[in-house]
Structure 1
């Protein structure tokens, strides 16, 4: 019995080149996915909360004093936001003093902040509607989670500030 020796290679054999190619492809896919995720994460939320941490720290004691004065004032402020139209909303703020009397002669500013995209933020000044009610129409407001920041000023000085998370449903 004679054995025949063949120089043909096994087509299914795993060689070093095959393993190297598979490893390169595997890590290439991982790096590409990470690059896409980093790009999308930085594009939607850059991580900047305040422009200058130093200036925010300098104003910290003033913010504490303003919060104490706001608590002592005991104003009764409520807000309501409801859809009006396809992509708009109507914001209504009711403002009363500690005794429940409507507040007149105040300026109310509202900012609706989007949690992930600063370019979607909307600022508005509310107009008096009588009886301590202040209203504003906000256009171009998509559904989702928002932070409503209300600031009330009287005689040029800020008297009230609040931040509340709200959810705006689609129509």
Structure 2
């Protein structure tokens, strides 16, 4: 007669294993959403702008000195970006000193830096046209970019130009 007092089950009654199954399902959904969000976060993260903020802070004084020397030279670059028929952009750089004479014989680097994602940066291969003029082509999609031009000699950067450009 031990089972004589067994309670009758009613349809839809919440039992212990139901609560356990709901609890497991709840945490499984939370874990699944966390895994999906972590995957998307890792896949879309473009990386750090600065690998070591400490080293960047130490280099800041050097950058300030370089900017002061650059300002004293009073060099200037004229930049033009033309759309090509093949979907590329043609960049023309004219470097001049303070008196307007061409600045020639330097290593010139140029790149289109994406303001939000360094993975989209595009380096432009330049050809020296002579007389302080340099030209190169690159496939750069429309949008807002920062065009960075560096003039260097013997491995030392002597001039940097940063220009915000809107490509259509």
Provide the TM-score with structure 1 as the length reference: 0.70
C-alpha distance in structure 2 between counterparts of 1:157 and 1:80, whole Å? 25
2:52 paired residue number: 52
- Which contiguous aligned blocks of 4+ residues in structure 1 show a shift greater than 3 angstroms? 32-47
Q: What is the SS of the residue equivalent to 2:86? A: coil
Provide the TM-score with structure 2 as the length reference: 0.71
| 1:41–1:76 Cα change, 3 Å | same
Alignment root-mean-square deviation, CA? 3.2
Q: What is the SS of the residue equivalent to 1:59? A: helix
Residue 107 of structure 1 contacts residue 126 of structure 1 at CA under 8 Å; is this kept in 2?
Answer: no
Which residues of 2 match residues 12-27 of structure 1 at below 5 A? none
| 1:52–1:81 Cα change, 3 Å | same
Deviates more, 1:52-61 or 1:125-134: 125-134
CA displacement 1:117-148 (0-9 Å, x = unmatched): 51x21113422113321111113x21111111
Residue 47 of structure 2 contacts residue 118 of structure 2 at CA under 8 Å; is this kept in 1?
Answer: no
Q: Which runs of 5+ in 2 are unaligned?
A: 1-31
1:165 paired residue number: 164
Q: Which runs of 5+ in 1 are unaligned?
A: 1-31
1:99 paired residue number: 99
1:116 paired residue number: 117
Residue 125 of structure 2 contacts residue 138 of structure 2 at CA under 8 Å; is this kept in 1?
Answer: no
Aligned residues: 161
